[in-house]
Structure 1
Amino acid sequence: MSRAPAAHRSNRLECRHVALRTSTLTSPSPSAPAQPSAEVAQRMRLKGIGLMCIALACFACLDTLGKWLGTSMNPMQVVWTRYTAALVFVLIIFNPLRDPKVLVTKRPWLQAVRSALLFLSTALNFFALQYLQLDQTVSIMFANPFIVAIISGPLLGEWIGPRRWMAVVVGFIGVLVVTQPWSGNMHWAMGLTLLGTTCYAVYNILTRMLAGHDSAGTTSIYSVAFGAIVATALVPGYWTTPDSWSVVAAMVAIGALGAFGHWVLIIAHGYAPAGILAPFIYGQIIWMIGLGWAVFGQVPAVNTLVGAGIVIASGLYLLFRERTIRGG
């Protein structure tokens, strides 16, 4: 999946990781308190927010190119393009020949499951984009924080209270407003997007669990290596030779945007907790509406805008409650 929206809440492991990283920059001696100064912490948060916005712009452009390429080739070929090109770019950036340790993971099974979930999320998203508008898919994908809130209990032991449960319920009402299953006109591809969003929510949880174990380079490589291998095995049955250089350029760009976007997303969470970055996820709908109109001439329906507004408001309340409880 090409989004990004990371999980709403940062776990204790993530907080310790940020504290340790910043303390090395600000502590003059081993006896000094392991806490960053307010000025340094603020700068780090601003860097994280800036990187988050860059990552979301990359993902919006990636989805737009994926939808455009889907008009001339099978979505599985688009998935193969996204992962193969991304793997090449990631290997160039981190160069395991120069640093073989980047291929060593402390949690191999966790990396494997996480990579498989990302592949499923990406594939489902590209198939859905054949039939849905960009603003529809991103509005449904905004359900990601609510799914994360639900599954954080059994996976991380972070259980939510009644007020946050109410926010989750209201958020899913917003998703229903977008999909309108009662109208009889709900497109089946919306189900693919919702399933892909669920995969991506679990992927976000596993990313948080890996933050204190593997480096950004290691996680970036494993994120795309699994998908590249699986897609390469499947794509021969769906292959269509590109008929223009613009198609080739778009295929290369998808890989570059995916690799760079996910790398920047990982780095952003090293500078700022997920709770600080979470509100900026919703800015992606502006990108999607603008690109949908500019590239495909698509104007969002009223129910999509209303549903997206409900989802965003509920998500922001969920974030507010989380920060209030944690004193952030």
Structure 2
Amino acid sequence: MALPEPQPAPVATPASSPPANQALVAIVIRLFAAISITAMFACVKLASNHGVHVLESVFYRQLTGVLVLIPVAVAGPGMALLRTSIPWTHAGRMVIGMVAMSLNFLSFALLPIAEATAIGFMVPIIATLLSIFLLHETVGLHRWGAIAAGLAGVLIVVQPGSGHIPLAGALVGIAGVAITAWVSIIIRKLGETESPVTTMFWFSLSSMIPLGIAMLFVGKMHDAETWAIIGLMGLFGAGAQLGITWSLRLAPVSVVLPMDYSSLIWAALAGWLIWENWPVPATWIGAPLIIGSGLYIAWRENQLARQRRG
């Protein structure tokens, strides 16, 4: 998550393996979501180049989410699905989520798209660290090793002091990842009582209040090309959000998660085609360490969940 605010940390799903055809459909949907996420962030970067304020981009992204989720709820289980008995918990999630999303959008405006994407892969690594303190989970030697490898990968990508990428952008990206990981912990707790659509809807709707106020100060008119970019950004973001949720209805996280990391390929292609910016070798060295760490953490959590089920 984040996805959306680049994506919540993967939580192992201790369900039995889905039928092969159902798993294949889930993988294809998740691949579509990964491409959509990359396209959304490419639009965020393009919009920034056209003078669109980050908070404007966040506002239109969230507005599209509300407009998409309402008909989805009506066409499916009905508007009753959007009811909640814990509005203040959703409000707290909204505040933290807005900070995370704004920082993530800003990081893509400041950094090359492939490097920003690689830094975003840190979410499951940081979420595992936070789970120790916030959820009092026990992390064994295997996952500690994966965390260390992932952090080493980030250092390789960022190369502090080398001038390889803007330091301010790297710090913004890392801060966005850390807060997104915090959001993923909150979403994990909300998932005990709330459906994914309910959580996404209230996040999008409640964020309209602070973002609407912000738009009084940063909102402005744009030319037709810029409005088209903004519209595509919202549609790609909503499509990614729905794709992530739909894929998890068909198959466990451990089945669909690898598709998320294809975002680096799409980001590299987008950077080359749009900005003529190909990732430097350090990115291709560090990113696999980050990706491998995230995949191992998800696999390990899945194994532990199966053991607990007996």
TM-score class normalised by the smaller sequence: 0.7 to 0.9
Give 1:115 shift. 2.7
Per-residue deviation, residues 243-268 of structure 1 (Å, max 9, x unmatched) = 2x222122122222222221221222
Using the TM superposition, name which of 1-10 and 104-113 deviates more: 1-10
Deviations 1:87-107 (A, max 9, x none): 2222233349x9442331143
Show the 5 A alignment for 1:275-314.
275-314=254-293
Q: Report the equivalent of 2:100.
A: 121
| Equivalent in the alignment of 1:22 | none
* Larger CA deviation: 129-138 vs 220-229: 220-229
Q: Distance in 2 between matches of 1:205 and 1:44?
A: 28
Q: Give the distance between the partners of 2:219 and 2:11, measured in 1 at CA.
A: 41
* Contact persistence 1:105–1:218 (CA under 8 A): yes
Q: What is the CA deviation profile of residues 172-212 of structure 1, one whole-angstrom value per residue up to 9, with x for unaligned ones?
A: 01101111224366521111111111121122223233334
**2: CA distance between counterparts of 1:220 and 1:321?**
27
Answer yes or no: is 1:70 the counterpart of 2:72. Answer: no
Q: 166-175 or 231-240, which moves further after superposition?
A: 231-240
The match for 1:216 among 192, 196, 212 is 196
TM-score for both structures, normalised by structure 2 = 0.87
TM-score (norm 1): 0.83
Match of 1:28 in 2: none
Distance 1:324 1:216, change over 3 A: closer
Deviates more, 1:147-156 or 1:296-305: 147-156
Partners of 1:195 and 1:320 in 2: CA distance: 26
Question: Which consecutive residues of structure 1, in runs of 5 or more, have no partner in the other structure?
Answer: 20-35
1:268 and 2:268 are equivalent in the alignment: no
Structure 1 window deviating more from structure 2 (266-275 vs 1-10): it is: 1-10
What are the equivalent positions in structure 2 for 1:5-24 lying under 5 Å apart?
5-10=7-12, 15=14
Please give the alpha-carbon distance, in whole angstroms, between the structure 1 residues aligned to 2:49 and 2:181.
28
1:60 corresponds to 2:38: yes
**Aligned-partner Cα distance in 2 for 1:95–1:196:** 33
Structure 1 CA distance, aligned partners of 2:94 and 2:112? Answer: 26
How far is the alpha carbon of 1:157 from its aligned partner?
A: 4.0
Q: Distance in 2 between matches of 1:8 and 1:221?
A: 20
Q: Please give the secondary structure, in 2, of the residue aligned with 1:298.
A: coil
Q: Percent identity?
A: 24
Moved more, 87-96 or 301-310: 87-96
Cα separation, 2, equivalents of 1:125 and 1:138:
10
Residue of structure 1 equivalent to 2:221 = 241
CA distances 1:267-306 after superposition (whole Å, capped 9, x unpaired): 2222222233322221110111111111111111122221
Q: Residue 73 of structure 2 contacts residue 79 of structure 2 at CA under 8 Å; is this kept in 1? A: no
Residue deviations 1:11-30 (CA, integer Å, cap 9, x gap): xxx54xxx6xxxxxxxxxxx
Higher Cα radius of gyration: 1
Q: Which residue identity does 1:115 align to in structure 2?
A: M
Over 3 Å counting, the alpha-carbon distance change for 1:109 and 1:153 in structure 2 is farther
Residues 287 and 51 of structure 1: is their aligned pair in 2 closer, same or farther, counting only changes over 3 Å? same
Letter in 2 for 1:148: A
Deviates more, 1:57-66 or 1:266-275: 266-275
Measured in 2, the distance between the counterparts of 1:121 and 1:229 equals 17
The 5-angstrom pairing of residues 95-244 of structure 1 reads: 95=74, 99-183=78-162, 186-243=166-223
Structure 2: distance between partners of 1:200 and 1:152: 13
Letter in 2 for 1:209: K
Query: Structure 1 residues 83 and 206 mapped into 2: Cα distance closer, same or farther (>3 Å)?
Result: same
Counterpart amino acid of 1:53?
A: L
1:89 and 1:255 in contact (8 A); partners too: no
**Unaligned 5+ runs, structure 2:** none
How many residues are matched? 302
